[in-house]
């Protein structure tokens, strides 16, 4: 943990700047009131930490506290630049436009998006603030890498302030087809915001094609394959960069003695059933938790196995609990789990062990090691790193992955038991196939998936994006060293 802090005037300008909604640290307040900072869990932070550790980069983000007025400070070799936000801005920019407008729209309208003009105004205001922070900290000719759907206006706003910069943007969630995106009243402004970047990255090639098509239809620029040609002579490239994980780190954690011991304890606590099914998700309506638990309960009800044979651990990390849709989902899943356990469970043998909590990485690894069948069934997901983490943890080449065909990871992990999460009977069939599979078949599938995640890890993802960003405007800006894990 780092506590060192220095005033804004003494902060060195950075050759690589990451701009994200959140800083990569969480504030920890000690018993004496002192403040320290701890590295945050989560896919984005774990994906970018190796990149930032390879050079003296700066990370711009919100510190997680609406009342905080903080100067830039150092943490684990990174310069962190906090961006402030009022309670009203947080409610309208983040909970409102980002997560009640864009999130459901970009996830195939699994929930109905809301469109409010005051939310849009707050989104513009906060994006401008992030752009100004980046303009201030970036060195001459620096690379600036902007992350995700909350900051889609930042590329154009930043280019206006600092035309010397090389600007990249990466969208971690899906990008919808024209039929859905066109619902947004501010569709042209969002597209023009992204066109401020030299390189726009997506999880899948289909998303990049959606973007190119929309720019041609809605903005009117000339396009060819993965390129957009702007009137000022600039060329914007849009292409896929599927994100990944630190594969070696996850495997090492899974092999460690404490994780092995904890995994054995988990199996023992559950009565050593023949098979343990596992789901780990944020509590979000896009994740398909309700449907998968129904499918599992019906397999027991239909007599394919008993609660002595199989149990389901579902971890649902609390998420956006101030948003009504998330509170409703939590209550629905609470009721479903209670009904299933009341109907099918035995004393000391619940059908479903439901945990509405967040866990540290070591506990997650122990759950991966303990479980025989990982069930990842979102209705729509940009990538889903949990699926890759499970595969990386299965160093004995065993275990099964039941995976939604609508998760980005399905394009790479073709040997998973792929399912349509809207098809309960189809999901039941694949879960049962995974349950009954021969060890030889499981090994064949897992070996192939493990090879994929080992060859395409987070270091390759980050280096590929930065290399393409460096090539976007040759000779225009400084080179950034590729990430090297120590």
b/e 243-277 (16+ beta carbons within 10 angstroms → b): bbbbbebbbebbeeeebeebbeebbeebeebebbb
pLDDT of 44 above 80: no
| Structural domains of the chain sorted by starting position, each given as residue range(s) with its CATH number in brackets | 8-243+460-472 (3.40.50.2000), 247-454 (3.40.50.2000)
Question: CA-based Rg of the chain, rounded to a whole angstrom?
Answer: 23
CA 263 to mean position of chain CA atoms: 25
pLDDT of 66 reads: 78
Q: What residues contact residue 180 under an 8 Å CB cut-off, 6+ apart?
A: 105, 106, 108, 109
pLDDT of 84 above 50: yes
pLDDT of 3 above 50: no
Q: Please state the pTM of the whole predicted model.
A: 0.93
The model's pLDDT over 397-429, given as tens digits with 9 standing for 90+, comes to 999 999 999 999 999 999 999 999 999 999 999
Say how far apart CA 482 and CA 456 lie, in whole Å. Answer: 15
How do 35-39 and 14-22 pair as beta strands? unpaired
Say how far apart CA 434 and CA 201 lie, in whole Å. Answer: 34
Q: What residues contact residue 12 under an 8 Å CB cut-off, 6+ apart?
A: 56, 79
Say how far apart CA 198 and CA 465 lie, in whole Å. Answer: 11
Tokens of 327: 């509170």
**For the ranges 49-58, 136-145, 157-166, 461-470, which has the lowest average pLDDT?**
49-58
pLDDT of 5 reads: 40
The model's pLDDT over 209-243, given as tens digits with 9 standing for 90+, comes to 999 999 999 999 999 999 999 999 999 999 999 99
More confident position, 227 or 37: 227
Tally the C-alpha atoms within 13 A of residue 200's C-alpha that lie toward its C-beta: 32
Average pLDDT estimate for 369-384 = 97
The model's pLDDT over 431-464, given as tens digits with 9 standing for 90+, comes to 999 999 999 999 999 999 999 999 999 889 988 9
Residue 419 Cα distances to 283, 432, 449, angstroms: 20, 12, 17
User: Model confidence at 9, in pLDDT bands (50, 70, 90)?
Assistant: very low
Say how far apart CA 446 and CA 444 lie, in whole Å. Answer: 6
Residue length, the chain? Answer: 486
How do 222-224 and 227-229 pair as beta strands? antiparallel
How do 138-147 and 166-170 pair as beta strands? parallel
CA 475 to mean position of chain CA atoms: 33
Say how far apart CA 49 and CA 20 lie, in whole Å. Answer: 13
Say how far apart CA 248 and CA 402 lie, in whole Å. Answer: 22
* Residues 158 and 196 sit within 8 Å (Cβ to Cβ): yes
More confident position, 46 or 171: 171
pLDDT of 481 reads: 56
pLDDT of 46 reads: 65
pLDDT of 417 reads: 98
pLDDT of 1 reads: 39
Q: Which of the given ranges, 19-33, 200-214, 323-337, has the highest pLDDT on average? A: 200-214
**For the ranges 23-27, 180-184, 254-258, 398-402, which has the lowest average pLDDT?**
23-27
């Amino acid at each position: 943990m780092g506590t060192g802090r220095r005033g804004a005037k003494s902060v060195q300008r950075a050759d690589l700047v990451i701009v994200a909604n959140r800083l990569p640290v969480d504030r920890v307040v000690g018993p004496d009131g002192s403040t320290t900072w701890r590295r945050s869990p989560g896919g984005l932070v774990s994906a970018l930490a190796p990149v930032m550790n390879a050079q003296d980069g700066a990370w711009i983000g919100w510190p997680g506290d609406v009342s905080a007025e903080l100067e830039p400070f150092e943490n684990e070799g990174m310069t962190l630049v906090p961006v402030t936000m009022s309670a009203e801005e947080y409610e309208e920019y983040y909970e409102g436009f980002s997560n009640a407008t864009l999130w459901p729209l970009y996830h195939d309208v699994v929930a109905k998006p809301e469109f409010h003009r005051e939310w849009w105004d707050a989104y513009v205001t906060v994006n401008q603030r992030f752009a100004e922070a980046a303009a201030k900290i970036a060195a001459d000719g620096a690379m600036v890498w902007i992350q995700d759907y909350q900051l889609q206006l930042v590329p154009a706003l930043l280019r206006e302030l600092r035309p010397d910069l090389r600007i990249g943007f990466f969208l971690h969630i899906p990008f919808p087809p024209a039929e859905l995106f066109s619902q947004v009243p501010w569709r042209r402004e969002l597209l023009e915001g992204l066109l401020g970047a030299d390189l726009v990255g997506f999880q899948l090639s289909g998303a990049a094609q959606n973007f190119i098509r929309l720019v041609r239809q809605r903005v009117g620029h000339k396009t060819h394959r993965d390129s957009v040609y702007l009137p000022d002579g600039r060329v914007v490239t849009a292409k896929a960069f599927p994100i990944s994980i630190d594969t070696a780190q996850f495997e090492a954690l899974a092999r460690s003695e404490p994780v092995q011991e904890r995994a054995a304890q988990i199996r023992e606590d559950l009565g050593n059933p023949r098979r343990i099914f596992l789901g780990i998700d944020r509590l979000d309506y896009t994740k398909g938790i309700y449907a998968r638990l129904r499918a599992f309960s019906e397999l027991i009800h239909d007599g394919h196995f008993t609660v002595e044979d199989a149990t389901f651990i579902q971890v649902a990390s609390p998420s956006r609990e101030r948003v009504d849709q998330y509170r409703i989902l939590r209550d629905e899943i609470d009721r479903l789990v209670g009904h299933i356990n009341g109907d099918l469970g035995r004393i000391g043998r619940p059908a479903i062990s439901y945990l509405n909590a967040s866990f540290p990485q070591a506990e997650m690894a122990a759950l991966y090691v303990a479980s025989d069948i990982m069930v990842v069934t979102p209705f729509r997901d940009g990538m889903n790193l949990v699926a890759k983490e499970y595969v990386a943890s299965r160093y004995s080449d065993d275990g099964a992955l039941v995976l939604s065909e609508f998760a980005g990871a399905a394009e790479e992990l073709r040997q998973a038991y792929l399912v349509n999460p809207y098809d309960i009977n189809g999901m039941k069939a694949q879960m049962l196939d995974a349950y009954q599979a021969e060890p030889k078949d499981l090994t064949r599938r897992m070996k192939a998936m493990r090879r994929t995640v080992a060859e395409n890890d987070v270091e390759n993802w980050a280096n590929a994006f930065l290399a393409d960003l460096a090539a976007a405007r040759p000779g225009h800006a400084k080179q950034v060293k590729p990430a090297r894990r120590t």
